[in-house]
Structure formats: C-alpha cells, structure tokens
Amino acid sequence: MQLAPLYLRRTQLLPTLPLMILPWASEPLVWNVDPVLLHIGSLSIRYYGIFFGCALVTGFAIWYNRARRFGESAVFAEQWLWYAIVGVFVGGRLGFCLFYQPRTFLAHPLSVLYIWNGGVASHGVALGLATALWLFARRHRTPWLRLGDYLVPAVALAVGFVRIGNFFNSEVLGGPANVPWAIVFARVDKVPRHPAQLYDFMIGPLTWLVLHAVERRKIRPIGSGLLSGVFLATYFSLRIAVEYFKDFYVEQLRTTAPLRAAEHWLGFRIHTGQLLSVLPALAGALLIVYALRRTDSYQSASDVSITSASSSTPTSATSPAPRIAS
C-alpha cells in the first residue's frame, strides 16, 4: 500500500481542507494534490470516489430519517436506496453523453458504457433521480410531490461532496481570476482561477438553509410540493449564477446552430450548465406558485394511519365522524 503525496503551497498545514484559504496573502494558492489517495497493488483509491460515496451515504441517511419522521415504514425508506443508486449512475452517465457529447454518443452509442473514461453530469443525475422518484411513487402508490419534499433536503446536503471530489480532481475549473482567493491548479496550468468547485459546493448548504427556513415556518405541510419547488428554484438559480465564474469548454451542445444563434443575439457566451439550469429553475418557480395556491388537503403517512385508526373505533351519535382527506 502506497500513499500518494500531498502538495499544497502556502497551506502546508491541513492540506486536505481546501476551504482554509488566506484571502490576504499576496500569492495565489497552488493546488497540486494527487487525486489518488492511495494505491493497493493495481487498485487506486481516489478522493473523488470517497466523496461520491459520502454523498450517497449522506443523502440516504437524511432521506431515511425524514421518511421515518413523516410516518413511512423502514422497509419503504430502505427500498428507495436501490432506485436512487440506479437513478444517480444511469442518469448521470446518460446526461453527460447527451448534454455534453451528443455527437460522439450518437455516432458511438456503446461509448455510454465506457465509464472508465469518466464523465458524469449533475443535471443528468437530477433527471435520473426525478425519474427514479416517479417510478418509486408509482410502485408504492404514493404522491410524487410528497416524496420530493422528503428528498430535496437530502440532495441539497449530499451534492456538495461531489464538488469537493471535483476539487481534488482539478476539474470543473473556474475561469482566470485576479482575486485574493484565486487558486492555481498546477496539474492543469499555471493560471490563477476562481475555485468554482468550492462555489458549487456552497450552493448545497445555502439551499438547505433556505429549505430549513421554509419548513420551519410551516407555510405549507409536507406533500404540498413547496419544498420541492423551493429546492429547484433556489439550487438551479444559484447554479446559473455560479456558472459565470467557470471556464468555457468546447462542448458539443454549445456548438449547435440554435445555441450559437442565441449567443449571438444575447451578445455573450452561455455555459451549457446555465442552459440546462433554466428549465428546472422555472419549474421550481411554477411549483412554488402551485403549492401556495393549492386548496385541497394532503397528508403524511402518519396522518393517514391516525385517521384510519380513528375511523375504526366506534363513535357516539353526537360525536362527528373523523374526516379523512382525499
């Protein structure tokens, strides 16, 4: 077993904590950490894989606790794990191939299986999770929006781990920057850049704080879809803003005629991540309006069990029958 060396100029202490940046320093921080943590024979354990695993564990733990708190069974909460894993990996990989390399994928469809070449798209993960959640809701005859309200705080806190993995991989780079906290990714070039991965990382906790505030105020109960809408609107609006600080890449989707015409008409370049974030942000805004205007009633699983138990007990002629929401 061989540990990979760590190299981080100007912050020799705590080299694995990339947030410990001294903004008043005169020279940009140089990040030159080996993305492989250790080698065990021919096996390489990468930081990215560790943080991706942390994202899955954190997301499932929060989902499980929320589902149980709102009255779902342990078996119900556990079964979601398998749907989520398939949604994350299949959606992430297909999203990368279709959103970032559509011509290559259409010319060589089997390239979607070349996972050793890397390539996972966060927007594809979002679409994969939404599809998995819809299938899970149909399988258990449960309202989709209720499950979404269970899930979105988990996603908000879990997604940041992946961005830390991107940071260790020296990928998803920011554009050139002349700011005190600029970082030189020595494994790529010698240009001081925005630490866009860390900007992306902060979107998750910020979104979670908004969700937590909305839930504590009890504007609408779980199941209304309000939390799901707030998540989509907040997270993807912040993604649109953060994309401005990222470097531009020659992505195949951006080179299509309609998008080139749109950039020419607007007068500035558009990131693929911004294009892919517009629809989810708008969908979130519409979902917020829908949730706030709903006049029907909705229940958690615990509410259903309580009302069902009440309806099974004899009632006197003077006592009103329990009302079960439709």
Q: What is the pLDDT of residues 207-252, one digit of tens each?
A: 999 999 999 999 999 999 999 999 999 999 999 999 999 987 666 6
Q: Give pLDDT, residue 313.
A: 42
Buried b (16+ CB within 10 A) or exposed e, 27-64: ebbbbbbbbbbeeeeeeeebbbeebbebbbebbbebbb
Q: Which tops the pLDDT comparison, 6 or 272?
A: 272
Binned at pLDDT 50, 70 and 90, residue 104 comes out as confident
Q: Alpha carbon of 272 to those of 98, 107, 135, 237, 325: distances in Å?
A: 12, 21, 28, 14, 44
pLDDT greater than 70 at residue 319? no
Residue 289's CB is within 10 A of a number of other CB atoms, namely 11
Q: Give pLDDT, residue 85.
A: 95
pLDDT greater than 50 at residue 320? no
- The answer for residues whose C-beta is within 8 angstroms of residue 281's C-beta and 6 or more apart is 232, 233, 236, 237, 240
Instruction: Taking each helix axis as running N to C, give the angle between helix 272-293 and helix 226-243, from 0 to 180 degrees, rounded to the nearest 10.
Output: 160
CA distance 159 to 164: 9
Q: Where do we find the tokens 């994350």?
A: 88
Q: What is the pLDDT of residues 114-170, one digit of tens each?
A: 776 667 888 999 999 999 999 999 999 999 999 999 999 999 999 999 999 999 999
Q: Alpha carbon of 257 to those of 230, 252, 253, 263, 276: distances in Å?
A: 33, 11, 9, 10, 17
Strands 183-185 and 192-193: antiparallel
Binned at pLDDT 50, 70 and 90, residue 95 comes out as confident
State whether residue 324 is helix, strand or coil. coil
Residue length of the chain = 326
Q: Give pLDDT, residue 322.
A: 34
pLDDT greater than 60 at residue 20? no
Strands 43-46 and 192-193: unpaired
